[in-house]
Amino acid sequence: MTAQLIDGVALARQWRARVAERAAALAARGHRPGLAVILVGDDPASQVYVRNKVKACGEAGIHSVLETYPASLTQDELLARIAALNADPTIHGILVQLPLPPHIDAQRVIEAIAPAKDVDGFHVANAGALLVGQRGYWPCTPYGCMKMLEHIGIELRGKHAVVIGRSNIVGKPMALLLLQANATVTICHSATANLAHHTRQADVIVAAVGRPRMLTADMVKPGAVVLDVGINRLPDGKLCGDVDFDAVREVAGWITPVPGGVGPMTIAMLLLNTVEAAERAAG
C-alpha cells in the first residue's frame, strides 16, 4: 500500500484564502491586520523564511513591515524596537526571526513581545496557556500539523501519537496539542533508548528532529500517519525531511512531503494567528 500524500501547499492555500477573507472584513471596518517581522543578521535560510512570510502577508491582505538589522545590533536596541512595536496600534503581530546572533538572549527578546502580539506563540505566557488548556497563540508549526490531521479526518482520541523532538517551538507544543486532542502521547528525544520501539507502536508520528531521513520504514507501523517537520539541506543543495520518504511512503497510511508539507502550513498558521490578533484588538 502506498501512503496518501497530505498536500501542505494545497491545504495552506485554502487556509490563506480564509485568512484573506477575514483580513478583508477587518480592513473594511478600518482595522487592517499588521505584522512586523524582524530579521537580525544575514543568515541565508532566515532571509528566505522572512521573505516568504512577508510575501504571504501581502497575498492575504495583511500589512507587513520588514525590519532588517545588521548582526551588530545590540540587545538593547532590539528590545527598544520591540517596545515601539508593542505600542504601535497598526501592528497586531510581532515576529522575531530565530536564530538571533549569539550576543542576544533570544528568550529575553521573546519575553519582551506583548503576549497579545506574540503570533509565533513562543512567549512563556502563550506556552503556559497551551499547557493549561487556555486559548493563547499556538506555535505555527504544531498548529499547522494539527490542521493537517484535522483535514485527513483522523480521530485522535485513543490513538497513540509519538513526537520525536522536544524543542519549545515544535516538539513540546506538538505533544501538548495532541494530548489536548485526547491522543496518548509519547515524546522522544536524543536520550530516548530504542526510538524504533516507540515509533513502531504509533498511530501518528511527528518527526521534528533535524536529521535527514532518520525515520526509516522499519520504524513505522503499517497505516500510520507520518508528519515530517524536519527541513534539512543535503550536500547537493536539495531539501529533505527527517523521514526516509520513498521507503516510509510504502508503509504509512498518510505522509507529508518535504518540501510542500508542513512548511507551507506553518506560514498559513502565522497568517491565521495574525488575523486573529487583529480581530481581538478590533474587539
* Binding-site residues from annotation for NADP(+): 165-167, 231
For position 186 contacting ligand NDP by CB under 6 A, the verdict is no
Q: What is the 3-state secondary structure (H, E, C) of 90-120?
A: CCCEEEECCCCCCCCCHHHHHHHCCHHHCCC
Q: Specify the residue, 26 or 164, whose C-beta has the smaller distance to ligand NDP.
A: 164
Out of 210, 247, 279, 282, point to the residue binding ligand NDP (CB under 6 A): 210
Nearest distance from C-beta of residue 33 to ligand NDP, angstroms:
21
Say whether 187 sits in a helix, a strand or coil: strand
Nearest distance from C-beta of residue 74 to ligand NDP, angstroms:
25
For position 229 contacting ligand NDP by CB under 6 A, the verdict is yes
Q: Specify the residue, 183 or 207, whose C-beta has the smaller distance to ligand NDP.
A: 207
Nearest distance from C-beta of residue 206 to ligand NDP, angstroms:
10
Partners of residue 240 on adjacent β-strands = 232
Nearest distance from C-beta of residue 30 to ligand NDP, angstroms:
33
Half-sphere exposure of 145 (CA within 13 A, CB side): 30
For position 273 contacting ligand NDP by CB under 6 A, the verdict is no
Closest by CA to 209, choosing from 227, 194, 222, is 227
Which residue's C-alpha cell is 543578521? 41
Instruction: Give the count of residues interacting with ligand NDP (CB under 6 A).
Output: 25
Partners of residue 5 on adjacent β-strands = 255
Active-site residue set: 53, 97, 120
DSSP string, 134-162: ------HHHHHHHHHHHHHT---TT-EEE
For position 274 contacting ligand NDP by CB under 6 A, the verdict is no
- Inter-residue contact 214 to 242 (CB < 8 Å): yes
Bridge pairing between strands 204-207 and 34-40: unpaired
For position 6 contacting ligand NDP by CB under 6 A, the verdict is no
Contact code string over 8-27 relative to ligand NDP, x by CB under 6 A: --------------------
Residues that bind ligand NDP (CB under 6 A): 141, 164-167, 169-171, 188-192, 195, 208-211, 229-232, 262-263, 266
